[in-house]
Every structure is written in C-alpha cells, then in structure tokens.
C-alpha cells in the first residue's frame, strides 16, 4: 500500500513542477503536497488517513520518510542537470567569443 503511493510520488517527481497527490488506495487516503520550486522541492504534507479519515501516524511517518528519500535524490539530480546545462551553455558561448562568467 505504501509502495503504491510511493510509485505515484515518483511519477509526480518526474515533472519539473511535481503535482500534489490525493488518492485512495485499498481504503486508505494518501495525501502528498509539495512546496518549493523546480530546483528545491520539499514536503508540505505526507499523510495517510484510514477508512474513517483519521490520521494514521505510523503510516504517515513511513510515507514521509520514503517521500523525503525520493525528494533528496530528485533535488540533487535536478541541480546536477541544471549545472550541466549551464556549463554547456557557457562553453558554447565561449566558442563564439562571448564570456558571460556563469
């Protein structure tokens, strides 16, 4: 059940601006909301509610931990790719004689 919600989060994090998730899986409601911008996305909410819509603290903490691991990887990779793009742009500009000091 948690793995299914983590899979949904992974799909969301593949986007430049991840979308929030509010979905029911096996009678549990999963809510994951993100904050931040493209290069630094964080968790606003990561909650698991039971069939009575009561917060399941243990499952919520597990979900939050799993989402945080995904976010750390995503943010690191995004910044790396952004730096690579800047280096490529700088190299191309230098090839034509423009030095912008990125």
pTM of the model: 0.81
- Model confidence pLDDT, tens digit, residues 11-67: 999 888 899 999 999 999 999 999 998 888 999 999 999 999 999 999 999 999 999
Handedness of CA 66, 67, 68, 71 (dihedral sign): positive
From the CB of residue 82, how many other CB atoms can be counted at a distance below 10 Å?
A: 12
50 SS3 class: coil
Residue 3: half-sphere exposure toward Cβ, Cα within 13 Å: 0
- Model confidence pLDDT, tens digit, residues 72-96: 999 999 999 999 999 999 999 999 9
């Amino acid at each position: 059940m948690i793995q299914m919600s983590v899979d949904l989060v992974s799909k969301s994090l593949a986007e430049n601006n991840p979308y929030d998730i509010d979905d029911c899986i096996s009678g549990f409601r999963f809510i994951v909301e993100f904050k931040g911008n493209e290069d630094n996305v964080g968790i606003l909410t990561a909650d698991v509610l039971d069939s009575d819509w009561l917060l399941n603290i243990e499952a919520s903490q597990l979900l939050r931990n799993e989402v945080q691991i995904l976010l750390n990887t995503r943010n690191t990779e995004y910044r790396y790719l952004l730096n690579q793009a800047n280096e490529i742009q700088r190299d191309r500009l230098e090839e034509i004689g423009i030095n912008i000091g990125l």
